[in-house]
Structure 1
């Protein structure tokens, strides 16, 4: 059987969970759902335009794959996981094609509930914003449902998003958009800081592996202490900062360099860009550009 013929094979039964787009974020969700036992791999169907991505997802997770988005959209719960600029094409493909009881969960940055409901001609839509720690079931996912979802449907969504880590239902879409600016890019921001501290350690003369160990384990321990403690980040910071001490000297450099202001500006930039993406002209979908 060829790879193409395997890609064309879809389950005879209705999939429990379908994905439109099989990129990085979709893969994180697939790994969390299958690894956490929420759904068996054979009950998932992923619609992905790129053949190599289909092969990777099929071989690594044992899920069903297809190049046909309509087949994946036949699932009981469908996750929209394409780039914002490809949303228009997906809406065209799926408009009026969903079953009445299908629940749609969009993780597309900037895509508002009204746009999704009207574009799909479907009332059962959830807008959510997870982040990549979903791969280890430590995501922070903020979400809001459309008005049409029943309590059983909401419980199913909560179960799905809860399998990824912590889920928070917010009162309005502004809450999701603000979370997009903070939680969405947080992994990248943290990795950026880790890179910078490792480079600083190397510049002092530490071997890179030791600088990496010192940075990663210290950050891991600090986060675990914060997680377990009842104290605020500020209180824990002050415990490490003696008057006239070495740590204070470093913190003064951060303050004089405007690190807080830079972090605030970065979060605001992400928030603004996510809103812009939701207003971008809708472009044709090209192979290999989902995810």
Structure 2
């Protein structure tokens, strides 16, 4: 069947990630003609924008029966409790650690997409990679691209195991970036800078740095190389960092997070 995606249901749509995705879709011109369903434990508008085009229920199967596209967005620990029958629906899962095979078995859906996103979707700033099973056609792919395009930036990938690494790297917003910022704030305060000034300075640094990095056509590696070649104060710091174990420490942390994603 051709998938128009006119009715989209989010199971777990009142949670942090589910409500962020819903907010992105509601704010996107691509879904102006769509209706939405949200299922949660109360069946009421909880942490979700109230709108006449959003229907709330606590019955997951009622949502499935009413919708063309199902976005499964529950914590991994709640996944075993999900009991839906969706053989003729496009099912998109953003549940960490749950494979396409497990999703097909759980939902009876033939058309399954496994994805990763983040609460930054509420600002249309999430990075959402996704992988589809072989039964997904071009119409379904268009819907998936529109959904995650509304959430920010997206790519289709073709190795399911890579999603565990993306879950580790780009899922925890601000996560690892916040830790690096914390280290810089701690350094500044240890040098006698007032905590509120240090906090404000580093927040602005990361805002400017992230915006410039996203807008640049050059790679992060190229930008580091150019800063080192400039041979200024930043170069001295970068050289010291490159000569330290910082790169390995970061990699070890990301591997630990990816291992956790696999074992959830």
Q: Same fold (TM over 0.5)?
A: yes
Pick the aligned partner of 1:16 from 3, 7, 28. Answer: 7
Q: Which residue of 2 aligns with 1:187?
A: 174
2:102 corresponds to 1:115 = yes
More moved, 268-277 vs 235-244: 235-244
Identify unmatched segments of 5+ residues in structure 1: 1-13, 278-291
Q: Give 4+ residue runs of structure 1 displaced > 6 Å after superposition.
A: none
Given the alignment of the two structures, is residue 168 of structure 1 paired with residue 160 of structure 2, yes or no?
no
Q: CA deviation at 1:104?
A: 0.7
Gapped regions of structure 2 (runs ≥ 5)? none
What secondary structure does 2:155 align onto?
strand
Asked if 1:98 is matched to 2:86, the reply is: yes
- Secondary structure at the aligned position of 2:48 is classed as helix
Say how many residue pairs are matched: 258
- Per the alignment, residue 36 of structure 2 pairs with 44
**Aligned 1:1-291 pairs, distance under 5 A:** 16-21=7-12, 22-39=14-31, 43-49=35-41, 54-59=45-50, 63-74=54-65, 75-90=67-82, 93-94=83-84, 97-98=85-86, 100=88, 102-185=89-172, 187-241=174-228, 246-251=233-238, 254-255=241-242, 258-277=245-264
Q: Give the C-alpha shift of residue 153 in structure 1.
A: 1.6
Q: For the structure 1 residues 41 and 196, does the alpha-carbon distance in structure 2 shift closer, same or farther, using more than 3 Å as the test?
A: farther
Q: 2: CA distance between counterparts of 1:59 and 1:156?
A: 24
Residue 273 (structure 1) shift: 0.7
What TM-score, normalized by structure 2, do the two folds share? 0.85
Q: Secondary structure at the match of 1:230?
A: coil
Contact 1:58–1:65 (8 Å) recurs in 2: no
Provide the rounded CA distance (Å) in 2 between the counterparts of 1:161 and 1:78.
Answer: 14
Task: Work out the CA distance in 1 between the residues paired with 2:6 and 2:223.
Answer: 48
CA RMSD, 1 decimal: 2.8
1:86-137 CA-to-partner distances (Å, cap 9, x unmatched) read 21210xx20xx3262x211000111111111122122011100112221211
- Provide the rounded CA distance (Å) in 2 between the counterparts of 1:232 and 1:124: 35
